[in-house]
Amino acid sequence: MNLVTPPEHPFAQFVRILGKGKRGARNLTREEAREAMGMLLDGQAEESQLGAFLMLLRHKEESAEEMAGFAEAVRARLQAPTIPVDLDWPSYAGKKRHLPWFLLAAKALANSGIRILLHGGGPHTAGRLYSEQLLEALDIPLCRNWVSVEQALAEQHLAFIPLGDWMPQLQRMIDLRNILGLRSPIHSLTRILNPLGARCGLQSIFHPGYQAVHREASQLLGDNAIVIKGEGGEIEINPDATSHLYGTANGENWDEEWPALSAQRHVKPESLEPAHLAAFWRGSVEDAYGQFAVISTMALALRALGRSREAAFDEAKRCWDTRKTSN
C-alpha cells in the first residue's frame, strides 16, 4: 500500500485563493494573476483546474489588478511585430437586437486614413451576428497572421484577425462557454489586450460596474482607452440612450456623458439582414437608426484619438459623407 501523500499541483494554489469560502477567499494579486494566466497559456494546468478557475473568477468578478496581470501574461507570449496602429477595436460580443453598424464606422474611418485593428473570437453564442460573418460582404480584410495584417493596414488601413490565429489558447478558453454554461472572464480580458499597442484601445463592456474596472486595468497597463456600455456589448454607441465614456489617457482618468441622439427610441428590426449594411454603405437605402449609430460611433473613435466631442462629430460626418462607397 502506497501511503505517500501526493504532491499538490502547482496551479492548485490559485484555485484555492479564489475558492476558499466567503471569509477565506480573496482576489489574486497582479503578480499572482500574471503567474496563473502564464501557467494556463503554457498548458501547465489540468482541465478541471481551468474550468474551476474561470468559473470562480466569474462568480467573484475579476478585479482590475487581476485583469492587468492576465493581460501582461498574454502580452509576454505574443509574437507580434511592430506595426503602427491608431485604434485597437475588439469585437467579441456579437449583435442580436441591431445590425453591427460599428463595422461601417470602422470602415469609414479607415477610408480617411485611420489605421484600425479589429479582432474577435468567432461565433460562440447562438442567435447573434458576429463580425467574422460579415467581413467578406463588407470588404474588410480577414487576416490569418501578422504579416497579412501589416499588408492590409498599409493598403486599406483596416484589418481583422481572429483571436485563434494569434492567441489560440485564449480562443480555446472562450470556446468553453457552451461547456461551462457561462461566459468566462476571458471574454472581458480580450478587450484590454491591445496586441499591437495601438494609440488607443476601444472597449465595450455591457454589464454595469465593469466599465470602471476595465478603465482601471488599462490605466495599470499604461494604455490609453475609452470604455463604454456599447449596444449589444460591441463598440457601438446606442443613439437611443445616454452614453457614459470612461476614458484614460496618459495615466489620467476622465469621464463624459453623451446624451441620446434621438428624441424617441427606434423600433428594432424584426430580423438582422446583413445585406442591408452593404446597401446602406453604398447609399442605396436609408436607415435613421443606422445613420445615428454610425456617426456617433465614428465620433467615439475620434474622441479616443484626442478630438473634442464637437470636433469628433463634425469630422465623423465629413468622413461618412466622403467615404469611398465603391469598396
252-277 tens-digit pLDDT: 999 999 999 887 778 787 788 999 99
Query: pTM value?
Result: 0.94
**What's the pLDDT tens digit per position in 54-105?**
999 998 989 999 999 999 999 999 989 999 999 999 999 999 889 999 999 9
Residue 318 Cα distances to 115, 262, 295, 299, 326, angstroms: 17, 20, 10, 11, 17
Instruction: Compute the distance between CA of residue 283 and CA of residue 170 in angstroms, rounded to an integer.
Output: 39
Residue 142 DSSP symbol: B
Grid cell locating 283:
447609399
Give me the pLDDT at residue 326, please.
Answer: 63
Q: DSSP assignment of 145-194, as one string?
A: SHHHHHHHHHHHSEEEEEGGGT-HHHHHHHTTHHHHSS--THHHHGGG--
- C-alpha 316: how far from chain center: 21
Domains of the chain in sequence order: 12-77 (1.20.970.10), 87-321 (3.40.1030.10)
pLDDT score for 69: 98
> Quick one: average pLDDT of 161-169?
96
Strands 252-258 and 243-249: antiparallel
